[in-house]
Structure 1
């Protein structure tokens, strides 16, 4: 049975397909694969374990999430970036096209922060360069608008109220 010359071709094919007698091509493939492939051999180059932090850093870099995560970190750590006292009276509300909008509790705080703009911006760029913040805008508190709401009247409204 080991000599395929004495068996008819159909019987040799049957035995090969049933796995009873290996094909001469399969033997060559196995030898070639085991000689060329070192992927399952331990202690070779590229098989060193990586830390979870390194794996996550590579994942965020390849997925393009670094800028979005840097923006989220900026908002999350605003009290460290701006300082505790300043963070008590301010909060970042928007980041659009490189401009960070920060809302203050009062117009006095907004004006004071405009004077400190360069210092806060340099701290943001130093800590979060991937966030893409180019400028900062400080706004005061939201005041109610009389032009919107359930009782607003369309049109110009009264102009001569004292006369």
Structure 2
């Protein structure tokens, strides 16, 4: 039977430091955190917080964690616009954007813009109830974009744009 071999020098140095300073896996900040936390909750098969979670709850938590709640609520408002204002008014109006808490709506004509301005309170209340995360505080209604006939360097300013297209 051969004589036992003497360990290599790096191994002897490691064993010596381990004897003097202790096991490195039991020292340091991470080791203290593991000891303070007790047992790892993932290692307990029926531990607290291990019950199954519904997909809707998981997606809701994910959207809240990533900060997607407001953009998703805004896009849902834009998609559901006919249910907010009604089918007839939705055919003649389009939500454009939300700027500083104000929903900007573009209408086909000034008549439809006036109709929407008269319904502003009802529409704002409906949006606040159905889509509170959208952040809509007020509504700004604009009519159609009128073309300009001002051309050239020496054009004279007229009476302003008129509603000739709606």
- Give the secondary-structure state (helix, strand or coil) at the position aligned to 2:43: coil
Structure 2 length-normalised TM: 0.69
Deviation at 1:46, TM superposition (A): 1.0
- Give the secondary-structure state (helix, strand or coil) at the position aligned to 2:140: strand
What's 2:100 paired with? 97
Q: How does 1:9-158 map to 2 (within 5 A)?
A: 10=7, 36-147=39-150, 152-157=151-156
Structure 1 length-normalised TM: 0.71
CA RMSD of aligned residues (A): 3.2
Q: Which runs of 4+ in 1 moved over 4 A?
A: none
After superposition, the Cα gap between the structure-2 partners of 1:42 and 1:135, relative to the gap in structure 1 and judged at 3 Å, is same
After superposition, the Cα gap between the structure-2 partners of 1:49 and 1:98, relative to the gap in structure 1 and judged at 3 Å, is same
Deviation at 1:157, TM superposition (A): 4.3
Gaps of 5+ in 1: 1-6, 18-24
List per-residue Cα deviations over 1:2-42 (Å, max 9, x = no partner).
Answer: xxxxx67637x58xx9xxxxxxx6xx9xxx99x83342332
| Paired residue total | 138
After superposition, the Cα gap between the structure-2 partners of 1:155 and 1:56, relative to the gap in structure 1 and judged at 3 Å, is farther
List per-residue Cα deviations over 1:140-161 (Å, max 9, x = no partner).
Answer: 11111224xxxx31243498xx
Deviation at 1:127, TM superposition (A): 0.7
Q: Mark the structure with the bigger radius of gyration.
A: 1
Q: In 2, Cα distance between the equivalents of 1:38 and 1:62?
A: 22
Gaps of 5+ in 2: 16-22, 27-33, 159-166
